[in-house]
Amino acid sequence: MAENKPIDDGGPAFPLPTEVSQNHFGNPDGYLGMSLRDWFAGQALAGLLANPDWSENEICHRTSDKSAVIVQVAYQAADAMLAARKEPRP
């Protein structure tokens, strides 16, 4: 049976410290916002949707749900970006 490991979401994308979030949001634990994975996926999704040729790609032609394919590719790109952040830098 495959092990269900939690998805590495990269942590919060735009966290606010507790003192700021208490003043603006009334949240005593700080404001974490969206995950870095979701932010990366959203950026990749915007790029994919901005490219009209992408939706005509062969991958999209193999399914009736093009939106699901594009979203899957966006999250694959986000996961690759998170993995790249863990690699040693020159």
pLDDT digits (tens, 9 = 90+) for 29-53: 556 678 999 999 999 999 988 887 7
pTM above 0.75, yes or no: no
Residue partners of 12: CB distance under 8 A and separation at least 6: 32, 33, 34, 35, 36
pLDDT less than 70: residues of the chain? 1-3, 16-32, 54-63
pLDDT at 26: 58
